[in-house]
Amino acid sequence: MSSVLFFLAAIGVITGATGVVVLRNPFYSVLALVIHLVSLAVLFLLLRAEFVAAVQVVVYAGAVMVLYVFVVAYVGGESDSIGERLRSRGAVGSGLRLGGAILGGAVCVELLIALLGTGLEAINGYGAGYSPGPQAYGTPAYIGKLLLTRFLLAFEVASFLLLIAAVGGVVLARRRGGLEDEDERDLLTPLEMLRPRGTGTMAEGVGRRSP
Amino acid sequence: MSIAWYLAVSAIVFSLGAIGVMTRRNPLVVLLCLELMLNGANLALIAFSRMWGNGDGQILAIVVMTVAACEVCIGLGMIVAIYRRHLPIDVDELRELQG
């Protein structure tokens, strides 16, 4: 049962990851990443990391992906032009992409050799013993106890990092003054305030507007 | 399934993310592929944590998730700022830090 679930979830994880890399439209890439994250949460559950699986679904597949979808919808419409530019790059662009893929494949082979070719006996086992219970390995109580005792410093530093990131996100994405186009700006100079509206403009010159 | 299978999946996911970072040119998709790489690392951390039977790896995975959320926040903020300035949303054409 658990091995069937493992293979289903692993197929979902790898298919979702491939979809993120391959799909041309960024919106579809985000949706493929959601599939990847939910399948990854199933793998975490199989590894008895219940709290991390719940955090993965709630924080990643919930909050972060909604942020991505909003930004893709805001920025969007660039996928076609980028794809056409990629094709117009011709031989150099496709050669670079092929080179990147070959390099990534080499990284994969190297990682597999490094992880599976080690002399560690334990990676062929099923992990340490596990006994269910309210304080068992991986439950929220267990993680909370660890976070607030042994890893208190990491917890505080992470919360500070979140604060800095929130402030930085607001600062980066805010609307700056002076960046709007000329017609969006409705600030009047003192000279414009003194004379009647529409005088001294090109519209008056051609007789469209008379004072 | 033995721990080795989980490690193999994590290696594959990590290298798929690396391929995406190297080949895609839309910064949004590059950020998504960075998420893939972090998730591969997270899977390996949790598999090793299960192997040893203590929770340190899970705490580290939660910290990695926090860092990933911060990175997404800053990265998407930068993409929105780039879009507001009418610069091309393409990592090959954004060569200068001072737009």
pLDDT for res A200:
64
- A75 contacts B83? CB cut-off 8 A: yes
- The DSSP-derived string for A124-173 is GS--S----STT-TTSHHHHHHHHHTTTHHHHHHHHHHHHHHHHHHHHHH
B40-63 pLDDT per residue, tens: 999 999 999 988 888 889 999 999
Question: What residues contact B57, with CB distance under 8 A and at least 6 apart?
Answer: B45, B46, B48, B49, B50
Question: So what's the pLDDT on residue B99?
Answer: 47
Q: Does the beta-carbon distance from B36 to A142 stay under 8 Å?
A: no
- The residue ranking higher by pLDDT, A79 or B88, is B88
Q: Is the pLDDT of residue A9 over 80?
A: yes
Separation of first and last alpha carbons in chain A: 85
- Cβ neighbours of residue B16 under 8 Å, at least 6 residues apart? A14, A17, A18, A20, A21, A104, A108, B33, B36, B40
B38: contact with A, CB 8 A cutoff:
no
CB B36 within 8 A of CB B20: yes
ipTM of the complex: 0.90
Contact criterion met (CB < 8 Å) for B39 and A40: yes
A126: nearest CB among B2, B16, B55: B2
* Topology, domain B3-84: Helix Hairpins (1.10.287)
> Nearest CB to B65: which of A55, A79, A165?
A55
Q: Cα A204 to chain center, whole Å?
A: 53
Every domain of chain A and the residues it spans: 1-77, 133-171
Residue indicated by tokens 């790489």: B37
Confidence of residue A208 (pLDDT cuts 50, 70, 90): low
Minimal CA separation from B35 to chain A, in Å: 9
- Residues 6+ positions from B9 with CB-CB distance below 8 Å: A10, A13, A14, A43, B43
Contact A173 B77 (CB under 8 A): yes
Interface contact flag, B2 A64, Cβ < 8 Å: no
**Cβ within 8 Å, pair A59-B14:** no
Chain A residues lying within 8 Å of B3, measured CB to CB: 122-127
- For residue B16, the chain A residues in CB contact (below 8 A) are 14, 17-18, 20-21, 104, 108
Those residues with Cβ within 8 angstroms of residue B42's Cβ, 6 or more apart along the chain or in another chain: A40, A52, B61, B64, B65
Contacts of B6 in chain A (CB under 8 A): 43, 47
Q: In chain B, pLDDT over 70 holds for what percent of residues?
A: 96
Q: Which of residues 178-197 of A touch B (CB under 8 A)?
A: 179
* pLDDT tens by residue, B61-70: 999 999 999 9
User: Judging by beta carbons within 10 Å of its beta carbon (0-12, 13-18, 19+), is residue B91 exposed, middle or buried?
Assistant: middle
Q: At what angle do helices A26-46 and B3-23 cross, to 10 degrees?
A: 160
**Where residue A8 falls among pLDDT bands split at 50, 70, 90?**
very high
Residues of B in contact with A49 (CB under 8 A): 46, 49-50, 58, 61
What count of Cα atoms within 13 Å lies in the side-chain half-sphere of residue A201?
13
Q: By the CB < 8 Å criterion, does A206 face chain B?
A: no
Spatial separation of the C-alpha atoms in residues B47 and A124, rounded to whole Å: 12
For residues B1 and A3, the answer to whether their CB atoms sit within 8 Å is: yes
B83 lies within 8 A of chain A by CB? yes
The pLDDT tens digits of the residues spanning A179-194 come to 555 555 556 666 666 7
SS3 content of chain B, % helix, strand, coil (to 5): 75, 0, 25
Summarised one tens digit per residue, pLDDT across range B22-33 is 888 888 889 999
Residue of chain B whose Cα is closest to the Cα of A6: B1
| pLDDT bracket for residue A81 (50, 70, 90) | very low
Considering only CA atoms, which of A142, A116, A121 is closest in space to residue B57?
Answer: A142
Distance from CA of A188 to the nearest CA of B (A): 23
Size of interface A-B (CB pairs under 8 A): 243
CATH architecture of A1-77: Up-down Bundle (1.20)
Q: What distance in Å separates the CA atoms of residue A102 and residue B39, rounded to the nearest whole number?
A: 21
* Count of Cβ atoms closer than 10 Å to residue A47 Cβ: 25
Tell me if B58 sits within 8 A of A51, measured CB to CB: yes
